[in-house]
Amino acid sequence: MFDFVKSTVGRKYIMGISGLVWMGFVLSHMAGNMLILVSPDLYNAYGHAIVSNKPLLYGAESVLVLALIVHVTTAISLTIENRKAKGSRYAVSASGEKASTLASRTMGMQGSVVLAFIILHLATFKYGTHYDTVVNGVQMRDLHRLIGEVFQQPGYVLWYVVALILLMFHLSHGASSIFQSFGFLERKMQKGLRKFAWTYAIIVVAGFLSQPAYVYLLRGK
Ligand code: HEM
């Protein structure tokens, strides 16, 4: 078992499973955040409901942190090994269908930007200014106001656009690689899978992009 986890294939499974955890999270985070466009009270009540359910919150946060640590450390170990292999005389460059795309060759760079994004994002929102509001007689955090303030700043919006576009490439390539490393794919299914991966990545990122775009362009302050 331990040998499998240490093997290259085993580590690719680990990358896939930890990536799947985050794929589920970003889809649901994007969907919930669409309430930003619907109503401030509804969005704040939604955020309040999540943070009030402590077992759910701490459970989900622990799984996310663990998956992120495992994903990043496994990616680093695979990259180091890959670099060593490239230096050896067994290294070959693929061509034709197997040739790597720019998106796949820059997974490490995209991942690093996304990681920096997540850290800054948590500092801005989760641990950012705490405004209060009252919705239906219940006092809660006014996250909608904070989002309104942050996305009035053009520099912030630009950074989100750049990071989210990189996230789109990372998700689309990651999503199609997961199932390839699970190995149940026949050749003809691979094309369909790539389509699914791109559709998923575009839906997630277009949804996320609509949120700062709505605040910056339409809502004003
Ligand atoms: C433009 C789109 C986004 C908006 C408006 C947004 C908004 C927010 C807000 C307001 C919070 C704080 C929630 C709270 O403390 O109750 C939050 C938390 C979080 N966001 Fe985002 N987010 C966006 C995109 C993303 C993306 C793309 C990722 C990941 C790649 C992400 C990952 C997270 C994580 C991990 C948390 C912490 C969850 C927790 O610990 O409870 N967000 N986001």
What are the tens digits of pLDDT across the range 74-113?
Answer: 999 998 988 888 766 554 454 444 557 787 788 999 999 9
Q: Across 22-111, where does the E strand assignment appear?
A: none
For the chain, the C-alpha Rg in angstroms (whole number) is 20
CATH code for the domain in which residue 177 is found: 1.20.1300
Strand, helix or coil for residue 132: strand
- The whole-number pLDDT of residue 137 equals 97
- The whole-number pLDDT of residue 188 equals 73
Cβ(19)–Cβ(174) below 8 Å:
yes
Those residues whose C-beta lies under 8 Å from the C-beta of residue 91, and which sit 6 or more positions away, are: 85
* Best probe residue, ligand 1, of 69, 125, 159 (max atoms within 8 Å of C-beta): 125
* CA of 141, closest atom in ligand 1: 16
Cβ(207)–Cβ(31) below 8 Å:
yes
Q: Measured between alpha carbons, how far is 110 from 114 in angstroms, rounded to an integer?
A: 6
| Tally of structural domains, the chain | 1
* pLDDT range class, residue 218, cuts 50, 70, 90: confident
First to last CA, the chain: 57
**pLDDT above 60 (res 51):** yes
- The whole-number pLDDT of residue 90 equals 53
Record the pTM: 0.91
Residue 140 φ/ψ, nearest 5 degrees: -155, 175
Cβ(103)–Cβ(172) below 8 Å:
yes
**Ligand 1 centroid to 29 CA: how many Å?**
7
Per residue in 150-173, pLDDT (tens digit) is 999 999 999 999 999 999 999 999
Once rounded to an integer, what is the mean pLDDT over residues 46-73?
97
Chain length of the chain = 221
* Greater pLDDT, 99 or 66: 66
**Ligand 1 centroid to 124 CA: how many Å?**
9
Residue 132 φ/ψ, nearest 5 degrees: -110, 150
Task: Supply 88's token pair.
Answer: 């050896």
Q: Which long-range contacts (CB under 8 A, 24 or more apart) does 60-63 make?
A: 60/25, 63/21
**pLDDT above 80 (res 143):** yes
Q: Is 68 in the pocket of ligand 1 (CB under 6 A)?
A: no
Residue of the CA atom closest to atom 5 of ligand 1: 211
Residue of the CA atom closest to atom 15 of ligand 1: 126
DSSP 128: S
Once rounded to an integer, what is the mean pLDDT over residues 53-60?
97
Share of residues in the chain with pLDDT > 90 (%):
70
**Ligand 1 centroid to 4 CA: how many Å?**
34
- The whole-number pLDDT of residue 97 equals 47
Q: Measured between alpha carbons, how far is 150 from 41 in angstroms, rounded to an integer?
A: 18
**Ligand 1 centroid to 70 CA: how many Å?**
20
Q: Measured between alpha carbons, how far is 101 from 63 in angstroms, rounded to an integer?
A: 31
Q: Is 143 in the pocket of ligand 1 (CB under 6 A)?
A: yes
Share of residues in the chain with pLDDT > 70 (%):
90
Q: Is 126 in the pocket of ligand 1 (CB under 6 A)?
A: yes
* CA of 143, closest atom in ligand 1: 10
Per residue in 118-140, pLDDT (tens digit) is 999 999 999 999 999 999 999 99
- The whole-number pLDDT of residue 96 equals 47
Once rounded to an integer, what is the mean pLDDT over residues 175-201?
81
**Residue of 69, 66, 56 lying closest to 28 (CA atoms):** 56
Domain that holds residue 130: 2-219
Q: Measured between alpha carbons, how far is 164 from 174 in angstroms, rounded to an integer?
A: 15
